[in-house]
Amino acid sequence: MQVFNRGAELSAALGNEKVLTGFVPTMGALHEGHVSLVERCRRECRRVVVSVFVNPTQFNDPADLRSYPRNLEADLKLLEAAGADFVYAPSVEDVYPEPDTRQFDFGQTDKVMEGAHRPGHFNGVAQVVSRLFAIVQPDKAYFGEKDFQQIAVIRAMVRQLQIPVQIVPCPIVRGADGLALSSRNALLTAEHRAAAPQIYAALKAGVEFSRTATVAQTERFVTERIDSDPLLKVEYFQIVDADTLLPLDQWREGVATRGCAAVQAGAVRLIDNVGGYGPYDK
């Protein structure tokens, strides 16, 4: 495994030869969720490239950026074991020699949920991912469904910029208690960590409830269930069309659904999502 701090050197090492190249962008503090992406990439591609970069332009909250966990040494060990060939772990200056002033327009896709609650977040994600794609020029890029809306935004970006890459969505990896693995879980207090599995439990209970209830009733049911734990506070829970990400007003036959939540657990903001809501999407 080769580790690069400079994009130009990584590009030169990758060369122009046509080799099926897979790419897994991450912000480090790696866990089994990331490992599942790298292992899938390893199975499907000749060359596996992983980036480890905490991208400042996607953080709308400076405290969140400051506290974001970083552990490159442990990350490199995990990546070597998972079969990565190339790692790009750059400085901010290497990725952004000058500030990126591009403003993307993803229409409705980034106006709801994370887009609405983290202003500028997806614009920053698009800035960094487009730069990483330009350096790595992958054939396939792997993203986790934990960041469900992010996948829709990346797909829109790839279409807009006409980047010839296949976006591969990967299922959410959870702990034994159901909590979606996330780098930010390491920042939870013991009490909040014990409460956090209630999020997935409520999302799943909502799926059963939704079989005989309206969209609005289901959203209320899930929100109240999570909020009934005094250590958790729902920022939003929304059931959307899984393809367009647009909020659903009523169940529609043939439309796949996704229920997406952001929950404050003390100082830590967690997100999760589950599919299969309503009488039709079983």
Ligand X SMILES: CC(C)(CO)[C@@H](O)C(=O)[O-]
Rounded to a whole number of angstroms, the minimum distance from the CB of residue 27 to ligand BAL is: 6
Q: How many CB atoms lie within 10 A of CB 62?
A: 9
Confirm whether 34 is a catalytic residue. Answer: yes
Give yes or no for residue 75 binding ligand X (CB under 6 A).
no
Structure tokens that stand for 128 in this block: 């960094």
**Eight-class DSSP state of 267:** T
Q: What residues numbered 203-232 form the site for ligand BAL, per CB under 6 A? A: none
CB 22, CB 47: distance < 8 Å: yes
Rounded to a whole number of angstroms, the minimum distance from the CB of residue 43 to ligand ATP is: 15
Residue placing its CB nearer to ligand X in the complex, 229 or 235: 235
Which of ligand X, ligand ATP, ligand BAL, none is residue 129 near (CB under 5 to 8 Å by kind)?
A: ligand X
Give yes or no for residue 147 binding ligand BAL (CB under 6 A).
yes
Residue placing its CB nearer to ligand BAL in the complex, 7 or 28: 28
Among 47, 121, 131, 146, binds ligand ATP (CB under 6 A): 146
Nearest 10 degrees: CA dihedral of 104, 109, 115, 116? 120
The SS3 call for residue 247 is: strand
| DSSP-assigned letters across all residues of 64-123 | HHHH----HHHHHHHHHHHT-SEEE---HHHH-SS--------GGGGTSHHHHHSTTHHH
What angle is formed at CA 54 by the lines to CA 236 and CA 89, rounded to 5 degrees? Answer: 150
Q: How far is Cα 91 from Cα 219, in angstroms, rounded to an integer?
A: 42
Give yes or no for residue 58 binding ligand BAL (CB under 6 A).
yes
Which of ligand ATP, ligand BAL, ligand X, none is residue 33 near (CB under 5 to 8 Å by kind)?
A: ligand ATP
Give CA 269 to chain center in angstroms. Answer: 13
Give yes or no for residue 202 binding ligand X (CB under 6 A).
no
Among 173, 213, 240, 245, binds ligand ATP (CB under 6 A): 173
The SS3 call for residue 34 is: helix
Residue placing its CB nearer to ligand X in the complex, 52 or 265: 52
Which of ligand BAL, ligand ATP, ligand X, none is residue 139 near (CB under 5 to 8 Å by kind)?
A: none
Active site positions, annotated = 34
Q: Using CB under 6 A as the criterion, which residues of the chain lie in contact with ligand X when the complex forms?
A: 25-27, 55, 58, 125, 128-129, 147, 150
What is the binding site for ligand BAL (CB under 6 A)? 27, 58, 147
